A and B are shown apart, each in its own frame.
Chain A
Amino acid sequence: MQQLLTTALGGLTLGAVYAAFALALCLIWRSTRIVNFAQAPMAMITTYIALVIIDAGHSYWTGFAAALIGGLLLGAVVERVVVRPVEGKAEINAVILTLGLFILIHAVAGIVFGSRYRSFPAPFGVRGLTVGDTSIALTGFGVFTVVAVVVVMGLLVLLFRYTEVGLRMRAAAFNQEVARILGVKVGRMLTLGWALAALVGSLSGLLIAGGSLVHPAYMDSVVVYGFVAAVLGGLDSPVGSVIGGMLLGLSLSAVSGYLGSELVPLAALVILMAVLLLRPGGLFSHHAERRV
């Protein structure tokens, strides 16, 4: 029982982080049909920004806010400077550019921040809470992680569903040409979409780093799990991505708890292959095929 609870709670926390990362990938995919491989190092950079600010003596929350704002700006700049010039060309061009960006950001981070491990603070306890006299695997920071992801997802849903800019963004994502003739400035919407995606990516970077160690490659495995989560939920659906992230976190936590942590990457791969073979549009797709 204790084991099950530990596994489930650990899975939820992990799942929330994958969910945030998957959501970031999904926001870009649905509007530009690009898988942004640079998402992980972009989140790594913004986490370092937070670390530098916190190490300079400012509060955790100042660093946290700076990282999110940094993500917003970084996303916008990447879309404008890197992706925009290949807009309208084959999508593979942009994907390869994001791979190039991956390598570039890594190199820059190694030079600027050094490649040693540095510890990153957490705003809440990372010890298990105690209920009565049993200690459970739920940590204060774990709760914060889940809440932060749920809040961000909720805000995005509100933005997309109930605001005019959200409507414009969705129109631009679904049909650029029709959006243009209706007066939507599609380029601006794409910039905004990348900015929001990078903000959510930054959040996942901060949540993984909290109470743990960061180094220039600390986010790289997350890009794999985040991608599996996004495919699991259907790359086109933000809500699906979040559910996919949660499911993946729970599954991998179970694999790690009951079978051994060395099997986790293998399990992720098996899940990815199973989804692509059985439901290429994701678990929640209505269409039989994903349009690629």
Chain B
Amino acid sequence: MFEVRDLTTSYGPVRALDGVSFTAREGRVTAVLGANGAGKTTLLRTASGLVRPQRGQVLLEGRDITRTPAEDMARLGLAHVPEGRGVITELTVEENLRLGGLHRPARTRAADVERICRLFPVLGERHDATAHVLSGGERQMLVIGRALMAAPKVLLLDEPSLGLAPRIVAQIFGLLRSLVASDGLTVVLVEQNARSALSIADVGVVLNLGKVVVQDDAAALAADEKLRHAYLGF
């Protein structure tokens, strides 16, 4: 379970997050939606310790991780796939994957890499290639695979659909859905692409100018035409 309480973050005079509270339950996909600049990326960056909040708390399985340094999050079970993907393009596919499992026992590393390659066969095929040569969809699979190498309890995804063809988005979202079902993963899915996100999410949280406007079942949000027009752009 992942929870934020009254989370408030500013960049100088710009208040990007303003008292945000919500809970993402285990085995569920929680979509965080909102227009460009709503504060979605800031929310994830604050949660994973890359940005310090002014106020509020972040809880992972009930434990307060608000002031935990970013480099300790993976070990605690929080994985963050950043906006723009964060593939290290100078390294090979396998090296990127191995980086995901740094705090796991070294002897299971090879088996972990194999498991991820079974999940994403394209990664297995391009195992020794420099990540630089991967397509956008393959890069997205690589960073998700890399995050899964850490065997996380909570997975934070920042706009995984950005710049990808709808077919690839559907494939990746389908895989996410099955992972949530099989591993009981908690997923926080940040998206501007609200329609696709709501199609796989259980719950949606809508942000606007750093504040939560509404949170509800995904189906209820998708059915609310006024809300869709006002904040979700479809």
Q: Which residues of A contact B (CB under 8 A)?
A: 164, 167-168, 170-171, 174-175, 177-186
Contact of B217 with A by CB under 8 A: no
Number of interface residues of B (CB under 8 A): 25
Q: Which residues of B contact A (CB under 8 A)?
A: 48, 50, 70-75, 79-80, 82, 86, 88-91, 95, 98-100, 102-103, 106, 146, 150
What is the minimal beta-carbon distance from A97 to any residue of chain B, in angstroms? 25
Q: Can you give 9 contacting A-B residue pairs, CB < 8 Å?
A: A177-B82, A178-B88, A179-B99, A181-B86, A182-B74, A182-B100, A183-B103, A184-B71, A186-B71
What is the minimal beta-carbon distance from B162 to any residue of chain A, in angstroms? 17
What is the minimal beta-carbon distance from A10 to any residue of chain B, in angstroms? 36
CA distance A37 to B63 in the complex (A): 46
A164-B106, A168-B102 known; A181 vs B90 contact (CB < 8 Å): no
Q: Judging by beta carbons under 8 Å apart, are B86 and A184 in contact?
A: no
Contact of A181 among B74, B89, B98, B103 (CB under 8 A): B74
A164-B106, A181-B82, A183-B103 known; A174 vs B74 contact (CB < 8 Å): no
What is the minimal beta-carbon distance from B50 to any residue of chain A, in angstroms? 7
A164-B106, A168-B102 known; A181 vs B50 contact (CB < 8 Å): yes
Q: Judging by beta carbons under 8 Å apart, are A181 and B95 in contact?
A: no
Q: Judging by beta carbons under 8 Å apart, are B82 and A178 in contact?
A: yes
CA distance A191 to B73 in the complex (A): 22
What is the minimal beta-carbon distance from B183 to any residue of chain A, in angstroms? 19
- Considering the complex, give the chain B residue whose CB is closest to the CB of A30: B90
Q: Judging by beta carbons under 8 Å apart, are B75 and A183 in contact?
A: yes
Given A180-B50, A181-B86, A183-B103, 11 more A-B residue pairs with CB atoms under 8 Å apart are A164-B106, A168-B102, A175-B88, A178-B82, A180-B70, A180-B71, A181-B74, A182-B150, A183-B72, A183-B102, A184-B102
